[in-house]
Structure 1
Amino acid sequence: MTRRSLREQATSAQVHAPASASTPRAGEPRRGVGGMLGDVVLWIAALGGVVCIVLVVLALTAQITLIMFSTGSMSPTIPAGSVAVVQRVPASDIRVGDVVTVDRVDELPITHRITSVSEGASAEERVITMRGDANASDDPFPYTVTSVRTVLFAVPGIATLIVAMGDPVVLGGITVAAALLVVWAFWPRSPASRRTMGSS
């Protein structure tokens, strides 16, 4: 047997050898759009869970919370419908020009810009006047505070979404959808389906 015939036999064996199981075949179905969409939704849900955990940790450790603006008294700096991230700080740390939220007894908190700060009855106490950026004059009365929530930053237009998320119907729908998504993601698949997904 000559060298030429040996080379021809080797080439013929390679041509007729069956394709490897790990090599994708032409025309094999790839993972469907539903599978990819499910992955995206799972990632979004996971990200939302992480954000909620981070917010809880920040609220407990750094006293960082959220407030919503239902009026436009701080426009255009913070328009109505915005959500602000605020942090509670001692009154001794505040300065003129800071935007802060003051808690009021039997009334809703108010968030305006500080226009003056003076000493209070104790070292921890301050008496402040405030004014909304959209207002022509200061608030009618000064506020005596030992701590305030200072605005770190605000995101316009998402207050409506957060309010809707607190609706029992919306919460129930989200819970049911999340449960169905988890069941779908971990539901046992047939061997043929697993082979199809593995070959894609």
Structure 2
Amino acid sequence: MTTSETRRSLREQPAASGAPAPALSPVGRPSRRGPGRAIGDLLLWIAAAGGVICIVLVVLAFTAQITLIMFRTGSMSPTIPAGSVSIVQRIPAGEIEIGDVVTVDRPGELPVTHRVTSIEPGASAQERVITMRGDANASEDPFPYTVTSVRIVLFSVPGIALLVAGMGSPIVLGGLTLAATALVVWAFWPRSGGGSRRRRAGGVI
């Protein structure tokens, strides 16, 4: 009997005798993941990305004076339609230029965001007197604004104001917190040891 025949007979012996074939080690094989696990991983990545975005926004707010504003009216349409969210950055009044879209804070009133149409020196070196007009308005605002700083619009994203406003609701924040907690617990919850028992039964230690 040749060596190759001996090896073949040894390989065929367990099948012929009805004994279970030795289990193969799972090392090196790609793990099989069900659709539930894949969806859970995707949701974890989305939650992580959302957390990173929130952290970045907080850092920018403190370091670069960058914040968000929402447009409830269409006075800046079609450039910035109602329901848009804009990224704004606070700048000194001396950096304002004609044509800039800026937000002016008004004590006791809502801020106004319009386009600058004229700039005049103020009572001090830091002050400027500006006039503004909304792109959708036929005339300038009824009075000028004396400012030492404004928030200039860097860019806008239309149609997400309601979403951003909803994210600030206590009910929504509470629901998101509970959902994120449940997702993290599910992701790190110990899995069943059935796989280990099967491997031990098959002869793998």
Q: With the length of structure 2 as denominator, give the TM-score of the two structures.
A: 0.85
Map residues 160-199 of structure 1 onto 2, 5 A cutoff: 160-192=162-194
Q: Which residue among 97, 108, 111 is the counterpart of 1:106? A: 108
Aligned mates of 1:129, 1:45 — CA distance in 2: 43
2:18 alignment partner in structure 1? none
Kindly indicate whether residue 14 of structure 2 is the aligned counterpart of residue 9 of structure 1: no
Return the offset for 1:13.
Answer: 4.5
* Stretch of structure 1 that moved more, 180-189 or 155-164: 180-189
1:20 alignment partner in structure 2? 24
Return the offset for 1:182.
Answer: 1.3
Change beyond 3 A, Cα 1:129–1:46: same
Over the matched positions of the two proteins, sequence identity in percent amounts to 69
1:146 alignment partner in structure 2? 148
1:57 alignment partner in structure 2? 59
Instruction: Tell me the amino acid that sits aligned with residue 125 of structure 1.
Output: E
Return the offset for 1:89.
Answer: 0.3
Instruction: Tell me the amino acid that sits aligned with residue 67 of structure 2.
Output: T
* Stretch of structure 1 that moved more, 181-190 or 101-110: 181-190
Deviations 1:18-54 (A, max 9, x none): 45212799xxx93211111111111111100000000
Change beyond 3 A, Cα 1:11–1:194: closer
Return the offset for 1:119.
Answer: 0.8
Deviations 1:76-114 (A, max 9, x none): 000000000000000000100000000001100000000
Change beyond 3 A, Cα 1:195–1:34: farther
Structure 2 stretches lacking a partner, 5+ long: 15-20, 199-205
Change beyond 3 A, Cα 1:193–1:11: closer
Aligned mates of 2:101, 2:35 — CA distance in 1: 47
Change beyond 3 A, Cα 1:147–1:12: farther
Over the aligned positions, Cα root-mean-square deviation in angstroms equals 2.2
Instruction: Tell me the amino acid that sits aligned with residue 121 of structure 2.
Output: E
Aligned mates of 1:24, 1:82 — CA distance in 2: 50
Structure 1 stretches lacking a partner, 5+ long: none
Return the offset for 1:171.
Answer: 1.4
Map residues 6-155 of structure 1 onto 2, 5 A cutoff: 6-13=3-10, 18=22, 20-22=24-26, 30-155=32-157
Change beyond 3 A, Cα 1:123–1:13: farther
Instruction: Tell me the amino acid that sits aligned with residue 7 of structure 2.
Output: A
Aligned mates of 1:23, 1:105 — CA distance in 2: 68
* Stretch of structure 1 that moved more, 9-18 or 87-96: 9-18
For residue 79 of structure 2, give the secondary structure of its aligned residue in structure 1.
coil
Instruction: Tell me the amino acid that sits aligned with residue 25 of structure 2.
Output: A
Tell me which stretches of 4 or more aligned residues in structure 1 moved more than 6 Å.
none
